[in-house]
Amino acid sequence: MSSSTIRRTKQEKSHSSKAAQFSKGVAKAAGGTILTVTMLSSSVVAGGLVGLAISFRNLPDVRMLRNYAPNQTSYIYDIEGKLLDRLHGEANREVVKLDQVAPELKRAVLAIEDSDFYAHRGINPPSVGRAFLANFQEGEVVEGASTITMQLVKNLFLSPERAYSRKLAEAVLAIRVEQIFSKDQILEMYLNNVYWGHNNYGAETAAKSYFRKSASELNLAEAAMMAGIIQSPEYYSPFQNYEETKERQAIVLNRMEQLGWITAAEEAAALKQPLWVGEPTTWKDSKLPYVTEAVVAELEKRFGSDQVIGGGLRIQTTVDSELQQIAKETVEEAHRRLRRQGLDKSQMALVAVDPRTHFVKAMVGGTDYEESQFNRVTQALRQPGSSFKPFVYYTAFASGKFTPSSTIVDAPVRYRSGTAEGYYEPKNYSGEYAGKVSLRNALTNSRNVPAVKLGQKVGIENVIEVARTLGIESPLRPVVSLPLGARGVKPLEMAGAYATFANNGWYSKPTMIVRVTDSEGNVVLNNQPDPKLVLNQWAVASLNSVLQNVIQQGTGAAAQIGRPAAGKTGTTDSNRDVWFIGYVPQLATAVWIGNDNYEPLVAGATGGRYAAPVWRNFMKQALIEVPVQNFPSPKSFQPPKPD
């Protein structure tokens, strides 16, 4: 062997020896560091506990967790259970029991966050050293030093600031929590409170957002991914960074395998499994915004905003999504037609009510929700015009003094009033007078003078009482012109009132809500219909007979749908509001068209010309699978006796 070779060999041995010594030194240093950190942690915790013991009174009472009810997302559904909207504040959360969380997710979370959870009593000083070593070996944070109990109390009671005093407070509160609650109770609270990104709090909401399934249905691959997200939810989100998500998932699976909680084969299989992630569910727009906002407004009056937004309510509405879609498309198509006619600013409202239950089945509060969120069905007060006349005619029939065959003189008349002129002189829309006419003829052709005269004969106060009985709550004044719809009402009120005519006098308060339950399934509101007979049935049947004539041969001829239907047109002075409200025994629908600024539509605009075709187009589609049904005949009932 040459001298140069010998020297090179000695140098290599020397380098090898130094490398070995360096490795041993690193290991020794690491071990010493771990020991030092562990001892220091124990000392710090112990010393801190003594210090904090003096100020126990300043810490929260963890016993309040016995009655702790975190804010939960409320859900709104249609009549068939189709999800329409989620209601929540900052926290989008759905609370579940521990046994409703997949075992795979529980193991994955414990593996990466606190593998000694079931062994320690709230704090675990040795875990600090182990976490340091694990993170040092991986070159990144793969295991946390805080226990799950400490994380829980931090999230519930303490500020997020990184301070020595806060860490000691965590330790004290964690010990207290462990003294009062079982491990399973603590883990359940943790899994329902931990933040999982994209405004998802708790395992159930996160699972539905990331995988479109419940937390109970997660498999190992999905569970490992979710457990990995906890450390940095937005960064490890599969919606933001799928590759980083997979890498983090691999760390969780490896930790589970090291602990012996899964096999190497299970680890490998989970790593290969693709993750079919869903989409963020938070802050998504409502599918039926006019409906859901009206529902929220109704519930807030009853329960308050906090309970509705954060109470975890399950709200079943009365709305039929299929009918709602038909209504929406009908309004949009009608609005396009009006725009072609130069009515660019016009607005429209449509609401359909089931007369048998008075459930609102469809509601469109305007032509475009994005442009205007004002719900004209529930919020707008608009003059109903001649569509108010049926209340007058019903009052007359119910008095026992009039029948549809009774006559009245259609001729000029003048009444004293409080106007500047000092009198009120009603006029027919056509400007002509027919002389002596039957009440049937007068209503069929919507003559104004007979309606005003009839109102005086039966008493305006009595007409108002009938309107109130039928659910009209808007202000009504006993003025001579009231029979011509001189006071503003809401389209929903009119639809509900006409629905009572359709149901031959049986009334329930119109509602958009069938039932509300809390997160535990307890019923907190039950709106099952409780109809009451509020009208004289002979008088209603007589009115229905006349209102069928309105569609068959009167002002509502454009509303013919090929089956028995009744209804009434409405047109106000200066053509500011046009209406058609009509019904079959199974569905009552009101259509209103006008301008939000109360400007007139166009000259010659009437309810029969503009609103009736919209009603017809909606009803023909809505009733395709609904059997034809006749209204009861007046002969089926006994006429009332005059007072």
For residues 24-60, b (16+ Cβ closer than 10 Å) or e, as one string?
eeeeeeeeeebeebbeebeebbeebeeebeeeeeeee
- Report the percent of the chain where pLDDT is more than 90: 60
Which CATH number applies to 13-58+91-272: 1.10.3810.10, 1.20.210.10, 3.40.50.2020, 3.40.50.300? 1.10.3810.10
pLDDT number for residue 534: 98
- Tell me the Ramachandran region of residue 9: left when phi exceeds 0, alpha when psi lies from -120 to 50, beta otherwise: alpha
Query: Residue 480, class by beta-carbon neighbours within 10 Å (0-12 exposed, 13-18 middle, 19+ buried)?
Result: buried
For residues 150 and 123, is the Cβ–Cβ distance under 8 A? yes
Whether residue 307 is predicted with pLDDT greater than 90 in this model: the reply is: no
Report how far residue 550's alpha carbon sits from residue 411's, in angstroms, rounded to the nearest whole number.
Answer: 21
Which residue reads 């702790």 in tokens? 68
Q: How confident is the model at residue 167 (pLDDT cuts 50, 70, 90)?
A: low
Residue that has been written with the tokens 């330790």 in this structure: 171
CB-based contacts of 342, cutoff 8 Å, min separation 6: 602
Exposure b/e, 366-378, CB count within 10 A at least 16 = b: bbebeeeeebbbb
pLDDT of residue 375: 95
Closest listed residue to residue 631, CA positions, set 592, 583, 593? 583
Residue type, 7: R
For 62, the enclosing helix (H) or strand (E) is: none
Residue in 113, 170, 188, 493 annotated catalytic: 113
Residue 533 · residue 506 · CB < 8 Å = yes
Lowest mean pLDDT among 27-41, 57-71, 322-336, 615-629: 27-41
Contact assessment for residue 314 and residue 519, using Cβ atoms and an 8 Å cutoff:
yes
Taking only the tens place, the pLDDT of each residue in 323-378 is 999 999 999 999 999 888 878 789 999 999 999 999 999 999 999 988 888 999 99
Q: What is the pLDDT of residue 330?
A: 97
How many other CB atoms are found less than 10 A from the CB of residue 91?
A: 18
Helix, strand, coil abundance in the chain, percent, nearest 5? 50, 15, 40
Is the domain spanning 327-636 CATH 3.40.710.10? The answer is yes
User: 565 vs 119, 220, 528, 585, CA distance in Å?
Assistant: 74, 60, 26, 8
The Cα 474–Cα 466 span in angstroms is 13
Of 209, 386, 399, 542, which one is the catalytic site residue? 386
Could you confirm whether 12 is annotated as catalytic?
A: no
The residue among 308 and 554 whose pLDDT is bigger is 554
305 belongs to the catalytic site? no
User: Which of 49-53, 123-127, 130-134 is predicted least confidently?
Assistant: 49-53
Which range (66-75, 118-127, 138-147, 530-539) has the least confidence? 138-147
Name the one residue in this structure whose structure tokens are 């050293």.
129
The residue ranges of every structural domain in the chain are 13-58+91-272, 327-636
Tell me whether residue 556 is exposed, middle or buried, using C-beta atoms within 10 angstroms of its C-beta: 0 to 12, 13 to 18, 19 or more.
buried
Answer yes or no: is pLDDT of 24 > 70. Answer: no
- Amino acid present at 174: A
Q: Would 13-58+91-272 and 327-636 be classified into the same CATH topology?
A: no
Query: Residue 21: what pLDDT?
Result: 35
Instruction: Tell me the whole-structure pTM to 2 decimals.
Output: 0.73
pLDDT digits (tens, 9 = 90+) for 425-473: 999 988 899 999 999 999 999 999 999 999 999 999 999 999 999 999 9
Burial of 575 (0-12, 13-18, 19+ CB in 10 A): buried
At 92, which helix (H) or strand (E)? strand 92-93
pLDDT attached to residue 456: 97
Strand ranges (E), 222-322? 314-317
What's the token pair of residue 558? Answer: 């454009």
Sequence-distant (≥ 6) Cβ neighbours of residue 108 within 8 angstroms: 220, 223, 224, 226, 227, 228, 252, 256
33 — pLDDT class (breaks 50, 70, 90) = very low
